[in-house]
Amino acid sequence: MTIHKVYIIGAGVMGTGIAETVASNGIEVCLIDKTTKLAQRGIKWVSENMDREIDRWGLTSSDKRAILSRIIPSSDISLVGEAEMVIEAIPDRLNPKRELFAELDKLCPDETILVTNTSTLSISEIASVTNRPAKIIGMHFINPVTKVQMVEVVRGLQTSDETYQSIRDFAETINKQPILVHEYPGYVTTRIIVPLLNEAMHILMEGISTAEDIDMAMKLGFGFNIGPLALADMMGLDEVMAWMENLLAELSEHKYNPCPLLRKMVRAGHLGVKTGQGFFKYDTEGNRVKTDATGGDK
């Protein structure tokens, strides 16, 4: 199955990253959010991200124009009535996703594949509100979507072989290595990374080391490209906490219980790169400011 146009619901960090990735590989995108203004803001983020790539000589101005020409903003969800594929990229909360999939099921043609970008939630539970569980599947992209070379392709209990193969082919078309995952809380990547992030936060909270040195230890000691605390900041601390809470509810294992420091930071609105304050501080372009935000003065 060749996909000619992808409809993406949600113009946040993940939705815009997916949109840029898809459009960069020659496929048209309709980026839909609650208002056209929000969708246009998402395209502005794509433009700014490509400007940084141009500065690094990783992209040309003509490349940017071609990619942006393939992304159309909209607030009209009824446009999915002509969709071959819809990718949902709204926040990782079960009830809003189920409500959206129930609506998409009514609006989309019977043959449309509906994809969720969830990182911890049940594909089968999301699919249960539709009349097409065989055509519901997960694609768990990792942020930054444009840089990470893999995507988890998550089969629900009723996902068909045909749907799986179509999405596997699509993943390869957009230059992602598909990793097959059978539905289970946390899949592969989230289940492994969450305890690591949580433990790094506990080490910081207990005053064992600074945020800067904790990250440096993992980068130099184990070859990480980015330290766990900076990674959590990039992912969004509210999202990280939501993943932990979902896994804790599903598996009842203490290792997924969010660190008290994380809870405090989320309550304070210190969510990482997107708010300019997390375990580290960031400027308006998302670049790190050389101070330790939570581990004390260096």
Q: Which residue has the higher pLDDT, 220 or 120?
A: 220
293 pLDDT tier (thresholds 50, 70, 90): very low
pLDDT(298) > 70: no
For residues 4 and 27, the answer to whether their CB atoms sit within 8 Å is yes
Domain-located, residue 297:
no
How far apart are the C-alpha atoms of 7 and 85, rounded to whole Å?
6
Alpha helices by DSSP H, listed for 158-286, are 161-173, 189-205, 211-222, 228-235, 237-251, 260-267
The percent of residues in the chain predicted with pLDDT above 70, rounded, is 97
Tell me, yes or no, whether 172 and 220 share the same domain.
no
How far apart are the C-alpha atoms of 133 and 68, rounded to whole Å?
33
pLDDT(292) > 70: no
Domain-located, residue 28:
yes
Domain-located, residue 298:
no
Q: Which residue has the higher pLDDT, 294 or 265?
A: 265
Q: Looking at residue 135, what is its pLDDT?
A: 98
Tell me, yes or no, whether 167 and 42 share the same domain.
yes
Residue at which a domain ends, from 134, 149, 182? 182
Tell me, yes or no, whether 105 and 211 share the same domain.
no
Domain-located, residue 232:
yes
Tell me, yes or no, whether 157 and 286 share the same domain.
no
Task: Determine the residue type at 93.
Answer: R
2 pLDDT tier (thresholds 50, 70, 90): confident
Written as one string, the DSSP assignment of 231-262 is HHHHH-HHHHHHHHHHHHHHH--GGGSPPHHH
Tell me, yes or no, whether 131 and 265 share the same domain.
no
Instruction: Write out pLDDT tens, residues 148-205.
Output: 999 999 999 999 999 999 999 999 999 999 999 999 988 999 999 999 999 999 999 9
Domain-located, residue 34:
yes
Average pLDDT, the chain: 94
> Parallel, antiparallel, or unpaired: how do β-strands 28-32 and 136-141 relate?
unpaired
Range of the domain at 111: 5-182
CATH code, 250: 1.10.1040.10
Tell me, yes or no, whether 93 and 172 share the same domain.
yes
For residues 26 and 69, the answer to whether their CB atoms sit within 8 Å is no
CATH code, 41: 3.40.50.720
Tell me, yes or no, whether 165 and 201 share the same domain.
no
Instruction: Write out pLDDT tens, residues 94-149.
Output: 999 999 999 999 999 999 999 999 988 999 999 999 999 999 999 999 988 999 99
Domain-located, residue 13:
yes
Tell me, yes or no, whether 170 and 257 share the same domain.
no
Tell me, yes or no, whether 252 and 213 share the same domain.
yes
pLDDT(39) > 70: yes
Tell me, yes or no, whether 165 and 245 share the same domain.
no
Q: Looking at residue 222, what is its pLDDT?
A: 96
Residue at which a domain ends, from 182, 212, 231? 182
pLDDT(91) > 80: yes
Residue at which a domain ends, from 153, 182, 211? 182
295 pLDDT tier (thresholds 50, 70, 90): very low
How far apart are the C-alpha atoms of 179 and 74, rounded to whole Å?
31
Q: Which of the residue ranges 18-27, 53-62, 73-82, 195-204 would you say has the lowest mean pLDDT? A: 53-62
- Give how many domains the chain has, as a whole number: 2
Tell me, yes or no, whether 164 and 219 share the same domain.
no
Instruction: Write out pLDDT tens, residues 241-254.
Output: 999 999 999 999 99
227 pLDDT tier (thresholds 50, 70, 90): very high
Tell me, yes or no, whether 261 and 138 share the same domain.
no
The beta strand positions in 47-206, using DSSP E, are: 71-74, 85-88, 113-116, 136-141, 150-155, 177-182
> Parallel, antiparallel, or unpaired: how do β-strands 5-9 and 71-74 relate?
unpaired
Q: Looking at residue 296, what is its pLDDT?
A: 43
Tokens of 106: 């009514």
